[in-house]
Amino acid sequence: MKNILKTLTFFLIFIFASSYCAQAQNSKEKSTYRVFKYGGFAGMYFANNATAMFYNGSDNYDNSIQEYFDQHELAWEQVEYILNRTVELGELPEKMKYNPNYCIGFHGAYFLNESNAISVDIGFTRLKASDVFRLDYTNLPADHLTEDTYYMAKIEGEEKRYQFDIGYQYLFSVEEQSNWYLEGGISMNNVEVISHKVQIEELEFDIKSDYTSSNNLDPDNNAPVYNVRQGKIGFGAYIIGGLEYRFNEALTLEPVVKVYYAQNRLPNLAGMHFHIVPSVRLTFKAMFEVIREE
C-alpha cells in the first residue's frame, strides 16, 4: 500500500508541474473552458479471482456445504432421495472464478483549468463465481464398475460491489478533437454477498450463513431467521488511460481502461489485488464558460 501511495504522489506532482508550465507559457493569453462535466459510463468488470474462493463451500469460510447439511438433515435426505443413492461430500472446487459482468455508473469532473480536473466516479456491478463439486456415492453394489461412482453438483455465489473513486485527471492536449489523458486516485469499495447456492438436480439450497433464534434448523421450523451481512468496505487506488473524443463543445465520448489495485473484503479474505475495467464514458460539459486573464 505504501508503494501505491508513493506512486500516486509522484503522479500528482507530475500533473501539477505540467499544469504550472502550461500556465506559464500562456500567461498573457485568455483561456475559455467549461467548468463542469457530468455523465455516465458503462463497461465490463474483470475481477481478480482471489476472493472468489470464498464461494467454494469449504470449512475455511463462512458458508460451508458440510455445515449446512449437518444442520439441515431433511435437506440431505432430499438429496439422497432424488439421487437414489446414499452420498457423502467429496472434492470441492480449488479454482473458483468470477464471470466478467457489466459495470455502470456516474462520472463527473471539475476543471481547475483547461488541462487539469478533479474526477469522481460512482459505479456498481454484480459478480458471480461458479463451479462444480463432487458428491461421492456410498454403499455401491458389487457391480458398481459399470456405474458412476459420483455426482457433480453446481455451486454459485453472487455479490454486488459499489465503487467510489476520486482522482486527478490531466489532458495532454486541449486543442485537438481527440485528446489523450491520464487519471489516478484513491478508491473505496463496498462488497456484499447476495446469495450462495448449491444445485443438485432440481433441488436448490442457499447455504449463506444466517442467524436463527432456534437451534432447530429444519425447513419446517418457523423460527425467525436474520440475514447476516457478509462483506465490508475496502480501499485501494486506481489509474486510467483514456481518450476524449469531442463531438462538439458540450458532448464527449471517452473510451477508458481503468486498473484497480484494491482490497475487496469478504470474510477471511482481504488482500490487495488488481482488477481491470474497460468502459466508455459519455459526458456533457456545463453550459456556461469562464474567461480568465492568465
What is the per-residue pLDDT across 80-107, written as a single tens digit (0 to 9) for each?
999 988 999 999 999 999 999 999 999 9
**Domain presence at residue 206:** yes
Task: Write down the mean pLDDT value for the chain.
Answer: 84
- Report pLDDT for 271: 85
Q: Is residue 163 a part of any domain in this protein?
A: yes
Residue 99 lies in a domain: yes
- In a domain, residue 68? The reply is yes
Here the cell at position 117 is 480536473
Are the beta carbons of 265 and 206 closer than 8 angstroms?
Answer: no
Number of structural domains in the chain: 1
Query: What pLDDT, in 10s, does the model give residues 203-212?
Result: 999 999 765 4
pLDDT over 90 (residue 29): no
Domain assignment present for residue 257? The answer is yes
Q: Does 26 fall in a domain? A: no
Q: Is 12 helix (H, G, I), strand (E, B) or coil?
A: helix
pLDDT (tens digit per residue) in 47-77: 999 999 999 999 999 899 999 999 999 999 9
Range of the domain at 280: 2-21+34-286
Return the C-alpha cell found at 14.
507530475
Q: Given this model, what pLDDT does residue 222 score?
A: 56
Please state, in angstroms and rounded to a whole number, the distance separating the CA atoms of residues 269 and 191: 12
Q: What is the pLDDT of residues 117-154, one digit of tens each?
A: 999 999 999 999 999 999 999 877 666 665 678 899 99
Q: Assign residue 197 the CATH number of its domain.
A: 2.40.160.20
The vertex-263 CA angle with 258 and 269, nearest 5°, equals 135
Average pLDDT estimate for 170-197: 91
Query: Which one has a higher pLDDT value, 78 or 16?
Result: 78
pLDDT digit string, tens, across residues 216-226: 444 455 555 66
Nearest of 221, 223, 226 to residue 73 by alpha carbon = 221
Show the cell assigned to 33: 473552458
Q: Is the pLDDT of residue 26 over 50?
A: no
Instruction: Reply yes or no on whether the pLDDT at 14 is more than 80.
Output: no
Q: Does residue 28 belong to any structural domain of this protein?
A: no
pLDDT by residue (tens digit) across 233-292?
999 999 999 999 989 888 999 999 999 999 999 988 878 999 999 999 999 987 555 555
pTM of the predicted structure, to 2 decimals: 0.79
Q: Is the dihedral of CA 100, 102, 43, 183 positive or negative?
A: negative
DSSP state letter for 46: B
Whole-number pLDDT of residue 92: 95
Confidence check: pLDDT of 23 > 70: no
Say what percent of the chain tops pLDDT 70: 77
Burial class of residue 278 in the structure, from the number of CB atoms within 10 Å of its CB (0-12 exposed, 13-18 middle, 19+ buried): middle
In a domain, 60, yes or no: yes
